[in-house]
Amino acid sequence: MTDLAAAGRWTSRVAASFRASLGTIVFGMVDGAVSIFGLVAGVSAAGQDAHTVLIAGATGAAAAAASMAAGAWLDATASRDVAAADIERDRAALERDPAGTLAAIRERLASQGAEPASVDVIVALAKRNPEAWASLRRAAGPAAANPPASPAAQAAWMFVADLFAASMPVIPFAFLEVDAARTASLVVTLAMMTALGWARSAITGSPRGRTIAQTLGVTMAAALAGLAIGSIFRP
């Protein structure tokens, strides 16, 4: 029972981390699929055989996934630190210049549409206890209801998502001749990008058709760019 409970808790943590990192996962998959499909399209258009395209694509996929994971970690860490520093500046300003800071808080709340009575209550709290004001900001911040995963978790999800999506356009070159592999790569990538467009729409609430069209458009732009560059260097 203990092992089952531990496994259940671990599964729950992974599921929560996945939900909190959905935006990162979708971004990583779009980046991986688009960039590596453009790469293999270009290398294959340059007249290289399937084995050469496979090596180039696999190397590019691994390097891009590692780079994107590092970028995701740095971005998440910086965002967290900036938010914490902003709250700390507010708290310190309340102690240093209570009147001016309270006036700024009142103006900020009013500009965001807060009711006058609510503004009075919040300003009174900030005046009475700067630390309570800082706690309120943390609790009511944009990420409070759906806190993001930790920087390490976001980096891990980015790596997995980017590498998985980047591998899809490459795999056909392991089994098919270069022309057939390029066609199969295009079909697989377009299918995956259609699914990702649908996922983006579900996450952001944007119109599904437009979001899918945008995602496919980015893919085709990468394909055309890769084919154009590859054709230039074709022997």
94 and 28 share one domain: no
Q: What is the pLDDT of residues 1-29, one digit of tens each?
A: 466 656 667 677 777 777 777 788 888 88
71 and 157 share one domain: yes
Instruction: Report the amino acid identity of residue 86.
Output: D
74 and 156 share one domain: yes
129 and 90 share one domain: yes
Q: Which residues contact 200 (CB under 8 A, 6 or more apart)?
A: 26, 30, 206, 211, 215
Band (144; pLDDT cuts 50, 70, 90): very low
More confident of the two residues 89 and 39: 39
State the residue range of the domain holding 162. 22-78+152-232
Q: Decide: 215 and 202 in contact? Cβ < 8 Å.
A: no
160 and 220 share one domain: yes
pLDDT of 125 strictly over 90: no
What is the SS3 assignment for 53? helix
74 and 167 share one domain: yes
Q: What is the pLDDT of residues 58-98, one digit of tens each?
A: 999 999 999 999 988 888 888 777 777 777 777 777 777 77
Overall number of domains in the chain: 2
Q: What is the pLDDT of residues 113-122, one digit of tens each?
A: 778 887 787 7
Q: Decide: 28 and 162 in contact? Cβ < 8 Å.
A: yes
Residue 2 lies in a domain: no
Q: What is the pLDDT of residues 134-143, one digit of tens each?
A: 666 666 655 4
